[in-house]
Each structure stands twice: as C-alpha cells, then as structure tokens.
Amino acid sequence: MGLIFFALYLTFFDTPLTRKLREENDQLKNQYKILQKESDDIKDVLVDLRQRDNNLYRAILQAEPLPDSIYDATLTSAGRYANLTGMKDADLMINTSQLVDKLAKMTYIQSKSYDELLELVKNKEVKLLSIPAIQPVMNKDMRSTASGYGRRIDPVYRVPTFHYGMDFTARIGTDVFATGEGQVTYAGWKRGYGNLIEINHGYQYRTWYAHLNEIKVRVGQKVVRGEVIGEVGNSGKSTGPHLHYEVHYKGEPVNPTNYYFLDLSPEEYDKMIQISSNFGQTLD
C-alpha cells in the first residue's frame, strides 16, 4: 500500500523534487523488470537441470526422483521479510528478496542432488559397465536418428501404434554395437523383428537389436560395450534398411533415449529428442 500512496503523491504534486523521485521510481521499476527477466531465465535453466536429473540421471542410476515438494515448499518463515515492510518501495524489495531466495534454494537443492548422484556413480562402477549407455550404431551427427519411442503411424497398416523402441537408418551391412556388457540370450529369427539379438545386461536390463542383415554372435556369448554384434539389415516387417533398438527394464520396454549418456552431450541429446519426436512414422 505504501508504494501505491507514494505513486499517487508523485502523480498529483508535480514539482522538480517529485519529478526526480518519479524518475527514480520508474528506473527502479525498470531495473526490477530486468532482474525479474534474468531471474526467469536462470529459473528455466534450473528447471531443465531438475528435469534431466529426475528423468535421465536418476532413471539411469535407479534412484528415486526428487519430489516437487522439496522445491516448492515454503522457503522461509513469514517474518523473514518483516524488516522490509516499512521501507520505501517495500513491495519491490520483498519480491526481489523472495525471488533471489527461491533461486538460491533451487541451486542448493540441485547441487546436493548432484553430490548424491556422484556417490551413486562411485558405488555402481561395475553396474554402469553393464547398463546400456551408447547408441547401437555410429550416429554422432544424428543423421541416422529416425523414429523414436512413443505413438507413431505404422508404415504398413497406416494406423497409430505404439513404437516400443527407436529406429536408426543406415546402409545394409553397417556395424551394430552392443550398448553395454552382457550375455546374448537370443540370436535368431523373430516374427515381425526379423533377425534379432537379445542381450541380458543384468540388473534387470535387456536390449533388442532387430531387422539385422547378419548376426555375428551366438547364444551364451558374453559381449562388452562397443563390440560389433551384427549388421544393419531389412529383415522382418521392415520398409527400409534400419536398426530397430529396444531397451527393456524389469521386463518392460522403456525409452531408449534415456540410455545414451556416454555417447551424447546435452546439446546432442536435445537434438536427438527433437528429431525422433518429429518423425511421425516408423520404419517397421
């Protein structure tokens, strides 16, 4: 209320002093708007980091996501800003202080979360060798990225279907790599998938590599991440040369894009998400 009465005073009493005060007040408001815009930009970055933390890093390490309540809980007691209420431009000062406190809390929580993830990584080095963590074909420039995980148009029946893996376009004969250490549990023909390899990585993870031209491993064989296990092909229900790749966790297919963390930078990861999401039709 004090700021409103102050603004009314400046409006009705036009003197050199009030004009100066009005200019200073306008400058203060403009500075606050700039600060608010910059703070919103920082908040967007922190929200993005929080989403990556919960949906990518914690998913990989099988850690529980941080609940929203931790971020959204009341920052401080109501009396924290009591000393500002009687000051000139109290509303602006209180709002600015609350904004800074909010960003400081979000930054602190994210920092502590990364500390926790680092400890999880240290304790799970062996496990991380097994978890799928790279793309199954060479795709650094993202040109092989095709249809991603989710609802897509079936290329044969032309109806919406759920695509449980990710497609990578490549020439027939292109090397296909194991994406983590494990043991081959299937290597042969599977209806719809054509020539298929399944690898059991342990820790309830399995990967499927489908529509292969050639299988270069046998059932029971142990493989390591990056080892060539087959060739891209066009076998089975396929409308063009490509690799269909699936990641299964606890017996259910999950989004493979969460499992390229050793292969892609954050920028490359975002590019892959955009390309695979915009590809409306699958190749199988």
Q: Write the pLDDT tens digit of every residue in 80-110.
A: 666 666 666 667 777 777 777 878 888 888 8
Q: Is 70 exceeded by the pLDDT of residue 153?
A: no
Band (pLDDT 50/70/90 cuts) for residue 2 is low
In Å, how far are 114, 194, 198, 272 from 229, measured between CA atoms?
35, 15, 10, 24
Q: Is 60 exceeded by the pLDDT of residue 12?
A: no
Band (pLDDT 50/70/90 cuts) for residue 228 is very high
Encode burial over 203-229: b for 16+ CB neighbours within 10 A, e otherwise.
bebbbbbbbbbebbbeeeeebebebeb
User: Is pTM, for the whole model, over 0.75?
Assistant: no
Give 231-266 pLDDT, tens digit per residue: 999 998 888 899 999 999 999 999 888 888 777 666
Task: Pick 41 or 229 by higher pLDDT.
Answer: 229
What domains lie within the chain, and their CATH numbers?
2-123 (no CATH), 130-278 (2.70.70.10)
What pLDDT was estimated at residue 41? 79
Residues 259, 131 contacting (CB under 8 angstroms): yes
Angle between helices 2-12 and 90-123 (to 10 degrees): 140
The CA radius of gyration of the chain, in Å to the nearest whole number, is 27
What pLDDT was estimated at residue 126? 73
In the chain, what percentage of residues exceed pLDDT 90?
Answer: 28
Task: Pick 97 or 16 by higher pLDDT.
Answer: 97
Task: Pick 95 or 222 by higher pLDDT.
Answer: 222
Q: Is 70 exceeded by the pLDDT of residue 151?
A: no
Band (pLDDT 50/70/90 cuts) for residue 160 is low
Stretch among 58-62, 70-74, 220-224, 234-238 having the lowest mean pLDDT? 70-74
